[in-house]
Amino acid sequence: MKQMNFLRNALLSLAVLVTVGCSTVPITGRRQVSLVSDQEVMQMSLQAYREMMSQSKLSNNAQQTAMVKRVGQRIQQAVETYMRQQGASDQLAGYQWEFNLIDDPKQQNAFAMAGGKTAVYTGLLPITQDETGLAVVMGHEIAHVIAKHVNERISQQMLAEAGGGVIGAATGQGGATSQVVNVAYGIGAGVGMMKFGRTQESEADRLGLIFMAMAGYNPEAALTFWKRMDAASGWQSQPEILSTHPSNQTRIADIQKHLPEAKKYYSGR
């Protein structure tokens, strides 16, 4: 009887958390579970970012590094403009934007963390090919941050751990913080973007197209980029039903649907 009461109370507590702890994704309007504050996520992300960067080698290619910073800054300005237009600039409070190029030719990857810390691996540049291709990736990664997908993933982990075990561990010392954040971001995913869920990936594609368009990059470049990514994935691709990502083919089809919306924000430069 006591066990049943405990279980009932635990389920009720989780239900209250889910009901109260919700937020809305900009642009898409999707409701998402949010049981952890932006401040907590930014604090954990910053610590994990510092640990990661201390173990990484920055590229000494001045031209490529300048390109990453230039693209990042243009998308940053687009995001800040969009959020200001929506009266949501407060959601960017505490952001300390930073854009780096990590020298690792084997990593075809990029990431952005809460607070605006963003990095691209040199192994991805042969696939992005040019500045516009790079804007596709950086727009997508930054969109994950603006949509608070990491907050959502950590919240999902908290629910899976019966409410609070994950975030509690992250407040400790040692590698707990980086472990929680790395799981939330999916760092170490190898080829392709970070491993968010399919809904989150598709959402980041849509928002990323808008942000890159506002930054003056032609969003149609996303189609050719993902075709190149599909070719680069090769044998490592797996059936969509077995993956947290939409397949590249599904992603391309979705991007085609979202292009008319994104083009409304594109004026060229």
The residue length of the chain stands at 269
Enzyme catalytic residues: 141
Tokens 């990936």 found at: 201
User: What is the chain's pLDDT, residue by residue, as a tens digit (269 residues)?
Assistant: 444 443 344 433 444 344 445 666 666 666 666 667 778 888 888 888 998 899 999 999 999 999 999 999 999 999 999 999 989 999 899 999 999 999 999 999 999 998 999 999 999 999 999 999 999 999 999 999 998 877 777 776 666 665 444 444 444 444 444 455 555 555 544 434 345 677 788 889 999 999 999 999 999 999 999 999 888 876 455 444 334 456 777 888 889 999 999 999 998 66
User: How many Cβ atoms are within 10 Å of 202's Cβ, its own excluded?
Assistant: 19
pLDDT digits (tens, 9 = 90+) for 137-160: 999 999 999 988 777 777 766 666
The pTM (predicted TM-score) of the whole model is 0.77
